Structure 1
Amino acid sequence: MFSDVEFLSRLQFAFTIMFHYIFPPFSIGVGLLLVIFESKYVITRKKVYENITRFWIKIFAANFSVGVASGIVMEFEFGTNWAQYSRFVGDVFGSPLAAEGIFAFFLESGFLAILLFGWNRVKPGVHLFSTIMVALGSMMSAFWIVVANSWQQTPVAYELVEFNGHMRAVITDFWGMVFNPSAMVRFGHVLVGAFIQGSFLVISVSAYYLLKNKYVDFARKSFSIALFIATIASISQLFLGHEHGKVVAEYQPAKLAAYEGLYETQTNAPLYIIGYTDPETKSTYGIKIPGMLSFLVHGDTNAEVTGLNAIPEKDWPPAAMVFQSYHIMVALGMFFIALTLFSWFLYFRNKLFSSRIMLRIFMFSVALPVIANQLGWVSAERGRQPWIVTGLLRTSEGLSKSVTAEEVIISLILFILVYILLFFVWLYVLDKEIKHGPTDENSPEAGYQSEEDFAETISKF
């Protein structure tokens, strides 16, 4: 195992990308909430929304910094570990990555400076516009990355050309590549997952303050707004996930079969609620709903769904892992829907903020959307195996020919050490900012601002 360059390279890339993917969803989710918080401040002139906005800008900046630092490594890995893959997809993959850097990263990072240092230097409208641009930049960054990844899942608008003795994919239609069959539904799925993750971070911190009976007005308002976004996003994810599943069924039937542990092509195909699958015996065990998979995919319980046995076994994904990661992700999604809807029931009965059990659940549940997003990518990427580009290039064919197992092991160990340090620095900064609280020592706790105070504040801009 530890002498297998392919296994080690895949392990290294999985570790680096999974660590990196902790941070972009937080940035996207908190970015959206920042727009709402600051809009409320500009419209209502309430001091509490200024405090909320300024507090979460600091959290956003800390998260953004670690996300950038951890993301740079992956681009180097394309050249060091996956040179054959980079040669094959360079013409296709390079375009969305360049667009991500030019139209997304620079947009986000440029206006972030105004968010951090411009509160007392620009007018409120300019600062709000900057906040919108930062949020838009974070979403556009996700868009171009998802486009690149989706092309690997459902490659279109290309031709294979021989260059210096190697085959490579060349774009024949740029917009056809961008709007490939899975790009938009996957982008929506990723974006909404990020909204859930960012919302649960805000809710978690707000719940912590309410349990401590600190910054109560601040916590109640930020909790309520974030809960609204979390609820809408959680429910939306149910429908987006369904649409994504239909695309997977059409273009990647092996992946869908692994998701559902379906080995025989059949009508009235069952949907497993919980269980496990054994690829050795080609059997799946658990609680199932007969015909539901056929209905969800085709709208007809008698429709046929392709099983793994219709696909050469050498092209099977690792069904056991994919089945479990997919089902845990779905279970977490259903939990988010139940939790948020029940919270609104308590909210309208004026019992949510007084329920210490619910506040504790929310305080610790911040990790669950992170796990769900990670498992979503595990399901998508492991479900694509053994292809690195579906139907065109196998993962084993994308490796660099010169890299050795020893080199990968050494670099992996170094990455682990550095990333552990980076992770604890991130946690330290968050802990420090959260314990410091949303207000300065000399400023009033979140409350209403008088017209005179507001006019004085505006004059400083």
Structure 2
Amino acid sequence: MSGLEPLDLARVQFAFTVSFHIIFPAITIGLASFLAVLEGLWLKTGKELYRDLYHFWLKIFAVNFGMGVVSGLVMSYQFGTNWSVFSEFAGSVTGPLLAYEVLTAFFLEAGFLGVMLFGWNRVGPGLHFFATLMVAIGTLISTFWILASNSWMHTPQGHEIVDGRIIPVDWLAVIFNPSFPYRLLHMATAAFLATAFFVGASAAWHLLRGNDNPAIRKMLSMAMWMALLVAPVQMLIGDFHGLNTLKYQPAKIAAIEGHWDNSSGGPTPLILFGMPDMQSEQTRYTVEIPYLGSLILRHSLSEPIPALKDFPPEDRPYSPLVFWSFRLMVGLGLVMIACGVWSALLRRKGALYSSRPFLHVLQWMGPSGVLAILAGWFTTEVGRQPWVVYGVMRTSEAVSKHGVAQMSLTLVLFVLIYFVVFGIGLVYMLHLVRKGPVLSEGREVSIGGPGHLRTPARPLSAADENIRAEQKDQLSERN
């Protein structure tokens, strides 16, 4: 590819694959917990509504989980193919952390996933609920280890460099590095929000088309309660994360703010919009709020924040991308908070399910959580540059020695294969969403256990769930 070096192509390839991958784990984390809540409510209340919603979202979860596993395997291989120098240098830290993720989370999820997907009519309701809980917990444990590994690359602790390789000397310091708690909470909460708006948009889509039933209403209600309660908490977590980043990665903060010069010595304004220019070392066409940058990041009206000119040019992140990706993330977060508040006002008026302007907005907000996650990861990872292990190893030192032709060919193949394979998966998942939940409407449906119909559930099928019940009725008539 003209004008790009192997390093550039390796970075583009990794960014492409990880961006595709993160969509699926984010929804998997949220849906797994959502399914656990639905099944728990069904067991507690006995209302068929929750069971119907469980079966509906279980099929979507299964498709999403499968695509997440497949896309995640590619990420692991890329450490060896495109970033072999990094793997040799830091593999003694990242390797065990990823292995712990497999041993504690992936095995847990895989072990109970079969019961969760196919055991509804084969095991009792208590055991099935336990399996759902284990899968939900497994997704959170997986998040724990992945974020521990990635956070260590941002704020490395607990290691020594011996003979040109990193050697861990304190695993607690490695795992619970300074940025890890904030990044773990930020990512987990983002996954719940992304799922809430995915579920809420699905309900809004059906209501706008006249498919108004108790299951659809319950989906919307639960999603909007999540948005109302969690979106403000996410903004608070983000504030703490920003303060942590200011302490350990000040160049990233300067790039996010588009702030270049502290020679005046005064407080730093908040630049709402502008065009950072790396060549001229300034941000053009700025729209600013005086003092607010210092107030947010320093909690002071006089103390300035770091400026990009405080760092050598070779140590500065690429501000234009970081500047705008951060604003996209924050902007979407503010809209999520507004949607949560709007839903609360409509709920008080009894118009939550009938306000077409609100439903139209919510429908378009369906991908907002995923977009915010992608923007946040771009801010985090591009803002870490030019380091792959911050302050320890540069990205340019970590790449494998491949040629431009090799990297170009594999990048093109990745793009083509991903859009075909995962494009089909996404289309099918959206097809399941359009089908909507099927209400049992008082029909007796097996809840599993000895003596019950032992036909396994089919999570990847879009067929009507009532088929199983009709088959049971036919068997009873023959007998």
Q: Tell me which interval the TM-score lies in, with the shorter structure as reference length.
A: over 0.9
| CA-CA distance at 1:380 after TM superposition | 0.4
Tell me the equivalent position of 1:60: 61
Distance change >3 Å, CA 29–CA 456, structure 1 → 2? closer
Tell me the equivalent position of 1:328: 328
- What's the CA shift string for 1:376-424, capped at 9, x where partnerless? 00000000111111111111000112x2211111111111111011222
2: CA distance between counterparts of 1:391 and 1:130? 43
1:216 counterpart = 2:213? yes
Equivalent residue letter for 1:416: V
1: CA distance between counterparts of 2:446 and 2:390? 60
| CA-CA distance at 1:252 after TM superposition | 0.3
- What's the CA shift string for 1:1-25, capped at 9, x where partnerless? 5551001111111111101111111
User: Contact 1:2/1:8 (CA < 8 Å) preserved in 2?
Assistant: no
Stretches of structure 2 lacking an aligned partner (at least 5 in a row): 454-479
The answer to which of 299-308 and 50-59 deviates more is 299-308
| CA-CA distance at 1:210 after TM superposition | 1.4
Tell me the equivalent position of 2:238: 241
| CA-CA distance at 1:36 after TM superposition | 1.4
Secondary structure, in 3 states, of the residue corresponding to 1:304?
coil
Equivalent residue letter for 1:62: V
Tell me the equivalent position of 1:406: 405
Tell me the equivalent position of 1:181: 178
1:270 counterpart = 2:269? yes
Equivalent residue letter for 1:342: W
2: CA distance between counterparts of 1:81 and 1:267? 45
1:138 counterpart = 2:139? yes
Secondary structure, in 3 states, of the residue corresponding to 1:388?
strand
Secondary structure, in 3 states, of the residue corresponding to 1:269?
coil
Tell me the equivalent position of 1:89: 90
Aligned residues: 448
Equivalent residue letter for 1:155: P
Secondary structure, in 3 states, of the residue corresponding to 2:280?
coil
1:343 counterpart = 2:310? no
| CA-CA distance at 1:272 after TM superposition | 2.1
- Within 5 Å, which residues of 2 pair with 1:143-292? 143-162=144-163, 167-214=164-211, 216-265=213-262, 266-284=265-283, 285-292=285-292
- What's the CA shift string for 1:184-229, capped at 9, x where partnerless? 1001111111111111111111112212222511110111112111
1: CA distance between counterparts of 2:435 and 2:276? 48
User: Contact 1:33/1:226 (CA < 8 Å) preserved in 2?
Assistant: no
2: CA distance between counterparts of 1:275 and 1:39? 49
2: CA distance between counterparts of 1:456 and 1:250? 54
Tell me the equivalent position of 1:296: 296
Equivalent residue letter for 2:131: S
Equivalent residue letter for 2:78: E
Equivalent residue letter for 1:104: A
- What's the CA shift string for 1:222-268, capped at 9, x where partnerless? 11112111222211111011001001100000000000011123442
Secondary structure, in 3 states, of the residue corresponding to 1:305?
coil
User: Contact 1:329/1:375 (CA < 8 Å) preserved in 2?
Assistant: yes
1:7 counterpart = 2:4? no
1: CA distance between counterparts of 2:302 and 2:447? 69
1: CA distance between counterparts of 2:220 and 2:440? 14
Stretches of structure 1 lacking an aligned partner (at least 5 in a row): 440-444
2: CA distance between counterparts of 1:283 and 1:438? 54
Identical positions, percent: 38
2: CA distance between counterparts of 1:293 and 1:98? 41
Equivalent residue letter for 1:271: L
| CA-CA distance at 1:455 after TM superposition | 9.3
Question: TM-score scaled by structure 1?
Answer: 0.93
2: CA distance between counterparts of 1:205 and 1:419? 25
1: CA distance between counterparts of 2:416 and 2:446? 51
| CA-CA distance at 1:366 after TM superposition | 1.1
Tell me the equivalent position of 2:390: 390
User: Contact 2:227/2:339 (CA < 8 Å) preserved in 1?
Assistant: no
Equivalent residue letter for 1:37: L
| CA-CA distance at 1:152 after TM superposition | 0.7
2: CA distance between counterparts of 1:16 and 1:431? 21
The answer to which of 5-14 and 101-110 deviates more is 101-110
Secondary structure, in 3 states, of the residue corresponding to 1:342?
helix
Secondary structure, in 3 states, of the residue corresponding to 1:412?
helix
1: CA distance between counterparts of 2:266 and 2:124? 63
1: CA distance between counterparts of 2:447 and 2:9? 60
1: CA distance between counterparts of 2:303 and 2:431? 56
User: Contact 2:148/2:180 (CA < 8 Å) preserved in 1?
Assistant: yes
- Within 5 Å, which residues of 2 pair with 1:418-429? 418-429=417-428
| CA-CA distance at 1:428 after TM superposition | 2.9
Distance change >3 Å, CA 348–CA 454, structure 1 → 2? farther
